[in-house]
Amino acid sequence: GNSVTQMEGPVTLSEEAFLTINCTYTATGYPSLFWYVQYPGEGLQLLLKATKADDKGSNKGFEATYRKETTSFHLEKGSVQVSDSAVYFCAGGSARQLTFGSGTQLTVLP
Amino acid sequence: GAVVSQHPSRVICKSGTSVKIECRSLDFQATTMFWYRQFPKQSLMLMATSNEGSKATYEQGVEKDKFLINHASLTLSTLTVTSAHPEDSSFYICSARDGARGELFFGEGSRLTVL
């Protein structure tokens, strides 16, 4: 079956620092890949996605590139803000069913 | 704005009572909705797939008599936690698949606390 392995947290950064959260996947075929964000007390929101190899998803300064050769979809942001503090989930699959990583708690300090 | 809405967002109930959580797709019809459970600091666990007009498909280990799912219309699925116990306390999240956009949209989640 499919599995998604995500860098464990928590991650604490200072404002304007560079962020990387690693995500790798195991699947039969080439699933679509997603990053979801969960702000405190809220549900999940789709942050970005990529549907095929070499696609780059981007949103709100976050980026992730679908790397087939390394089966990875690492999340990056060049300069984080306090408002980026949240839990980030990597996920793979299709709209029919997604497999989620365990989530990474990010705290950005002013 | 939100395209999938859950209600209630928070509910506190006594042990032994039943609680119903609603999941509505606001601007599209959803033939399939999904119910997840999230434990503190953990990922989402898929509980069941809700299909409009037919019985839900439950994941292994999820008690179908405990977690009743009804998908009576193309815009509404409900999850009823029957005879709730403190161990049922959790964050429950639904998602709905928009076939036209090919995307999965998530509700805001419902936090259940069983005393």
> What confidence tens digit (pLDDT) does each residue in B76-112 have?
999 999 999 999 999 999 999 887 877 788 888 899 9
Cα–Cα distance measured from residue B49 to residue A95, given in angstroms and rounded to the nearest whole number: 12
Chain length of chain B: 115
Beta bridge partners of B111: B10, B91
pLDDT at site B10: 93
Q: Which residues of B touch A46 (CB under 8 A)?
A: 103-106
Residues 6+ apart with CB under 8 A from A106: A9, A10, A11, A12, A13, A19, A21, A80, A84, A85, A86, A87, A88
Closest CA to A76 of A29, A28, A13, A2: A13
pLDDT at site B1: 55
Closest CA to B108 of B97, B93, B96, B98: B93
Cα–Cα distance measured from residue B60 to residue B15, given in angstroms and rounded to the nearest whole number: 25
> pLDDT class for A96, splitting at 50, 70, 90?
low
Q: What's the mean per-residue pLDDT of chain B?
A: 90
Interface contact flag, B44 A100, Cβ < 8 Å = yes
Tell me if chain A has a CB within 8 Å of the CB of B70: no
Q: How far is A96 from chain B (nearest CA, A)?
A: 7
The secondary structure element, H or E, covering residue B48 is: strand B44-51
Closest CA to A91 of A77, A108, A104: A104
Interface contact flag, A96 B32, Cβ < 8 Å = yes
pLDDT > 70 fraction of chain A, expressed in percent and rounded: 96
Q: Which two tokens stand for residue B89?
A: 């306390």
Closest CA to A92 of A62, A60, A57, A61: A57
Cα–Cα distance measured from residue A84 to residue A71, given in angstroms and rounded to the nearest whole number: 26
Residues of A with CB under 8 A from a CB of B: 36, 42-46, 89, 95-98, 100-103, 105
